[in-house]
Amino acid sequence: MSEGLVITGVSKSFGGVSVLNDVSLTVRPAMVTALIGPNGAGKSTLANIVSGFERPDRGRIEVAGRDLTGQRPELRASAGLARTFQNLEIFKGLTVLENVMMGAYGRGGSGLVGALLAPPGARREERRLRTAARELLERFGLADSADVPVESLPFGQAKLLELARVLALDPHVVVLDEPAAGLPATSARMVGEQVTRMARAGVAVLLIEHNMQLVMEVSDHIAVLDHGELLTVGDPAEVRADPRVIEAYLGEGTP
């Protein structure tokens, strides 16, 4: 049974400056929980703490009921946590299909590297990965590009590929750091559709995103961070109407 992501009482300071102060948030399975807030509010720091790239000064991170506080990022991946990064992260020199197959590596299975290094007897594993990766590309509308070098993908498709790759981990929890950053409206919509679909398949999705239209469309819950403090968590209508949120983040007249 998956219980999603549970963040409890997380605090973090850099050089004596508080960046996160006692943040608690639950990201439930089969739902999209957005984390929004002004630049510098602490969103990426929280994503880094969740995925093990930063250590919290205080607090606890649990994924699917397992306490992962202090565990290395690789161990979190094998516990079912996957994330994307603000900047496009692709494995250059590999094809689109191989990039998706690489995704399965973090889950503790053999993945592409293991499959390539494996003795002939283990080739079945490679075939299984390849088939699963092709199915994911199909679902993301990228099947026609399976065998092209990943560098030749247009930016919008490369952002979709990142989503396909996190799903190759078969994750319980996915943290998406600005998946629609720099995308035109049509591509952002496609990302939104895939994020919704990911959640409906049972994944707990934490979505960090500045594109408010996307956030409002795909989120079940929205958490608002301001100066490292969680201002509120609510559904899109509640958050949109909350005067503190309007003041802290949305600004006059938006959206």
Ligand X SMILES: Nc1ncnc2c1ncn2[C@@H]1O[C@H](COP(=O)(O)OP(=O)(O)OP(=O)(O)O)[C@@H](O)[C@H]1O
Q: Considering only residues 16-75, where is the footprint of ligand X by CB under 6 A?
A: 19, 37, 39-45
CB of 205 to ligand X, least distance (A): 17
Exactly one of 13, 14, 131, 151 binds ligand X (CB under 6 A); that residue is 14
Q: Which is nearer to ligand X, 153 or 206 (CB)?
A: 206
Q: Which is nearer to ligand X, 80 or 179 (CB)?
A: 179
Q: Does 219 bind ligand X (CB under 6 A)?
A: no
Q: Which is nearer to ligand X, 37 or 106 (CB)?
A: 37
Q: Tokens 């509640």 — which residue?
A: 238
Q: Which is nearer to ligand X, 37 or 111 (CB)?
A: 37
CB of 35 to ligand X, least distance (A): 8
Q: What angle do CA 246, 249, 250 make, to 5 degrees?
A: 55
Q: Which is nearer to ligand X, 43 or 83 (CB)?
A: 43
Q: Give me the residues that bind ligand X (CB under 6 A), please.
A: 14, 19, 37, 39-45
